[in-house]
Amino acid sequence: MDIHQILKLLPHRYPFLLVDRVLEIDKGKSIVALKNVTMNEPYFTGHFPHRPVMPGVMMLEALAQAAALLSFHALDMVPDDKVVYYFAGIDSARFKRPVEPGDALILKVEIDRMKAGIFKFKAKAMVQEELAVEAELMCTMRRID
């Protein structure tokens, strides 16, 4: 899935769109996506000027965006502007290594379960073969007026 397909599914735009490409997707099971981390990210001006590091919350958001893409694909759904995909919870988040400009962050998300409109995922992000972050995510879709 390229950036044009991602833009059709996710409402996020620069500077908050954090998935550049989907590398693999196994319908209803898992997704592998890519976030290229560049020095142009706006948060690097303050986090930290002397040693730029991607904020952990942004890594979790990138994983949630990959999870949204997996959810939409699992449901054969193309969301419209009346659907919002929300975080419902984050458990067991652990940050294992800093992510810096120039890193290719590989986002790996698996559906743990889907029930009553709530999705639970096991998620991790890697830089090369090294674990950067792992967490259990809960997300839900809601229609808005």
Q: Taking Cα atoms as reference points, which of 80, 99, 107 lies closest to residue 19?
A: 107
In three-state secondary structure terms, 106 is strand
In three-state secondary structure terms, 107 is strand
Number of neighbours of residue 67 by Cβ within 10 angstroms: 26
**CA 91 → CA 8, 12, 70, 71, 122, distances in Å?**
29, 23, 19, 19, 10
Catalytic member of 12, 47, 50, 73: 47
Provide the greatest CA pair distance for the chain: 46
Which DSSP symbol is given to 43?
Answer: G
Contact in structure between 66 and 18 (CB atoms under 8 Å): no
Please identify which residue in the block is written with the tokens 């002397």. 50
Is 47 a catalytic site residue?
Answer: yes
Q: Which residues are catalytic?
A: 47
